[in-house]
Amino acid sequence: MSRDSGRAFDAPPPLALYVHMPWCVRKCPYCDFNSHAVQGEMPEAAYIDALLSDLDAECRRLAAGPTRPLNSIFIGGGTPSLFSGTAIRRLLDGVRERFVLAPDAEITLEANPGTVDEAHFAGYAEAGVNRLSIGVQSLAADALERLGRIHTPDAALRAVAAARAARITNINLDLMFALPGQDLAAARDDLEQLIALEPTHLSYYELTLEPNTAFYQQPPTLPDPDLADAIQQQGFELLAAAGFERYEISAFAQPGYRCRHNLNYWRFGDYLGIGAGAHGKWSAACFRAVERRTKQRQPDAYLKACQNAYLSDDSRDDSSANEPTSQNLDLGAKAPTRSVRILSEQDLLEEFALNAFRLVDGFTAADFEHSTGLSASHLKTGLRAAQALGLVSWVEAGGPSAIHPTARGLAFLNDLIACFMAQRR
- Same domain? For 219 and 81 the reply is yes
Strands (E), 214-262: 245-248, 251-253
Helix (H) or strand (E) holding 120: helix 118-127
Residue 193 forms part of a structural domain: yes
The answer to whether position 103 is within a domain reads yes
Q: Which of 209, 232, 265 is the last residue of a domain?
A: 265
**339 in a structural domain:** no
Cis peptide before 40 (omega within 30 of 0): no
pLDDT digits (tens, 9 = 90+) for 310-329: 444 443 444 344 443 444 44
pLDDT at 61: 78
pLDDT at 31: 86
Among 226, 243, 265, where does a domain finish? Answer: 265
Cβ neighbours of residue 198 closer than 8 Å, sequence gap 6 or more: none
Residue ending a domain, among 265, 290, 306, is: 265
The pLDDT of residue 414 is: 94
- Model pLDDT, residue 8: 52
What's the chain's average pLDDT? Answer: 88
Residue type, 407: A
How many separate domains does the chain show?
A: 2
Residue 363 resides in a domain: yes
Alpha helices by DSSP H, 270-406: 299-307, 315-318, 345-356, 365-372, 380-388
pLDDT at 190: 97
Distance CA 292, CA 347 (A): 11
Task: Name, in order, each residue with C-beta under 8 angstroms of 202's C-beta and a sequence gap of 6 or more.
Answer: 172, 173, 174, 175, 194, 195, 239, 244, 251, 252, 253
As a whole number of angstroms, the distance between CA 77 and CA 63 comes to 27
In CATH, what number is assigned to the domain containing residue 99? 3.20.20.70
Residue 137, in any domain of the structure: yes
pLDDT for the residue 124: 97
Residue 186: name the closest of 237, 252, 244, 142 by CA.
142
Please check whether residues 349 and 229 belong to one and the same domain.
Answer: no
Q: What CATH number is attached to the domain comprising 373? A: 1.10.10.920
- How many C-beta atoms surround the C-beta of residue 359 within 10 A? 18
Q: What is the pLDDT of residues 340-355, one digit of tens each?
A: 999 999 999 999 999 9
Residues 363 and 254 in one domain: no
205 plus 88 within the same structural domain: yes
Whether residues 236 and 350 share a domain: the answer is no
Q: Which residues of the chain fall short of a pLDDT of 70? A: 1-11, 63-66, 285-288, 309-335, 396-401, 423-425
Stated pTM of the model: 0.91
Dist CA 332 CA 423 (whole Å): 32
Domain of 72 in residue numbering reads as 15-265
